[in-house]
Structure 1
Amino acid sequence: MMISSRVRLLRLTSGLTLMLASAGVALPAIALSDIKDITPPAAESSEPASNEELDVIEDSIPVIPDPDPLIRSPEQEEAGDIEDMEPAGPPAEVIYDIEKAPEPVRRMRELIIEAAKTGDISKLKPLMNPGPDQTVVPLQTPDQDPIEALMAISGDSDGIEILAILLDIFSTGFVQVDKGTADEAYVWPYFVGKSLGLLTPQEKVELLRIVTAGDVAEMQEYGNYNFFRVGITPDGRWKFLSVGD
């Protein structure tokens, strides 16, 4: 099919305009009436442009790819968010019945609760199993006393906030992690073993009894619970009181 010289010129002009615009060069507006027909005289060229010449012209015009959709449907957004936050494996079983935990675990949980109710954080120290297997807590220095370390991260100077957090944590369900290994433990709260993106409305209420809505929003960016958690070994040793991922 023959293409007139005016059409070829319009294509070349459009291609040049796109290339210069992408380079940030401003061009004056050109009206179609300002484009002169530069068709050569019939005497100079009696043969139409070959297909190869037309292909070269068309190939010189930059092609703008179709953009990806900028707006996703609510269903796509929700599916994507849940997929990002789902854990690699199946969620741990959430247990509410404390009677399903071994008796040593139940006993240590009760001792911690009773110590926390006194309002005296030093009452926790005898439960921390001093020695090589001492309860792991967030330390500022390797040789720091565990009670002093807890008081240092408490919102008050007496460590009462930590005691309140312990009581709130033990009021929730729990999960059994690393079953059958040396790291096996019963851990509170159960949010440690469940993606925040999969929480039911009732479970969200339980989470907000421990942390603020602002804390939850921050956790959802990572998809996991990162506040305080308590671990007790099957033989009743208080393994850790930690905070973070």
Structure 2
Amino acid sequence: MVTSLAGCPPAAWALSDIPQIPGQQQPEEPDSSTAPEPTEDEKSDDDAADPGLTGIPDPDPLINKPGEDQTDADTAEPQKPPPEVIYDISKAPEPVRRMRELMIEAAASGDIERLRALMNPGPNQTQIQLGTDEDDPVAKLKSLSGDPDGVEILAILIDILSTGFVRVDAGTRDEAYVWPYFAEKPLSLLTPPEKVELLRIVTAGDFAEMEELGNYNFFRLGISPDGQWKFFAAGD
């Protein structure tokens, strides 16, 4: 039997097939070409709202511009060159040469009392700067020796006076000729032959400790230009 379609509801309209009501205008699609340009404030708001947008990063505060800071090397005072090491005793004044000779003779005798007459008894007495409580200068020397008679100190005295020497504080009231020169020359600047010379006075262990400290800290002595034995000291 043929069924009539006249009584059946029409099929759903497609969106494009919806008839336009007479007198009603169809809404126009916006024309992107005529859309107003966003203002600067709107652009800023849009950029802030979009986490994917990034601007130019601020300069790193850790970056120093040239000329802002100076390094320690620029501001540090230049180190003075080490004094000239002298081996020729004839370059020292005659009074200095004479005192050195007398000291070696006294030390070689084995009698430490022979040094007493060379230590300037009185107000200009030789300064024994060795941290001992003894008042008598010869007793101070004995207290530093490994033996009761002070023979070890006499041997050290000869060894020291057998090295090169330096002139310090030239032209001042503190001018002196100092033995050994290691007391005034940085250990880092010693040549291999000079290290050998130093090891004739100290042990290898002592030398290693001195290198850690950065300076010579064994015995040293000074003679003034007029031939006075100024000091005998040890330490930094």
TM-score (norm 2): 0.67
Secondary structure of 1:172's counterpart equals coil
CA distance in 2 between partners of 1:51 and 1:155 (Å): 85
Out of 183, 186, 196, the position equivalent to 1:205 is: 196
Separation in structure 1 between the aligned mates of residue 131 and residue 136 of structure 2, nearest angstrom? 8
- Among 81, 103, 106, the alignment partner of 2:97 is 106
1:122 is aligned to 2:113: yes
Secondary structure at the aligned position of 1:154 is classed as: coil
Q: Superposed, which structure 2 residues align to 1:55-204 within 5 Å?
A: 88-137=79-128, 138-141=130-133, 144-204=135-195
Q: Shift of residue 51 of structure 1?
A: 4.3
Specify every segment of 5 or more residues in structure 2 that has no aligned partner in the other structure, as ranges: 1-47, 55-77
Deviations 1:129-149 (A, max 9, x none): 0111100112522x6101111
Amino acid in the other structure paired with 2:192? P
Deviations 1:88-139 (A, max 9, x none): 3100000000000000000000000000001111110000001111001125
SS at match of 2:231: strand
Give the Cα–Cα distance (whole angstroms) in 2 for the partners of residues 51 and 165 of structure 1.
84
Structure 1 unaligned spans of 5+? 1-48, 56-86
Q: Measure the CA separation in 1 of the matches of 2:184 and 2:85.
A: 8
Between Structure 1 and Structure 2, the one with more helix by share is 1
Identity %: 68
Q: Does 1:214 align with 2:211?
A: no
Specify the code of the residue in structure 2 equivalent to 1:158. D
Distance 1:234 1:200 in 2: 28
TM-score normalised by L of structure 1: 0.64
Partners of 1:139 and 1:192 lie apart in 2 by 18
**C-alpha distance in 2 between matches for 1:208 and 1:231:** 21
> Number of residue pairs matched?
165
SS at match of 1:88: coil
Indicate how the Cα distance of structure 1 residues 139 and 128 shifts in structure 2: closer, same or farther if over 3 A, else same.
farther
RMSD: 1.8
Partner residue in 1 for 2:222: 231
Looking at structure 1, the residues matched to 105 and 96 of structure 2 have their Cα atoms a distance apart, in angstroms, of 14
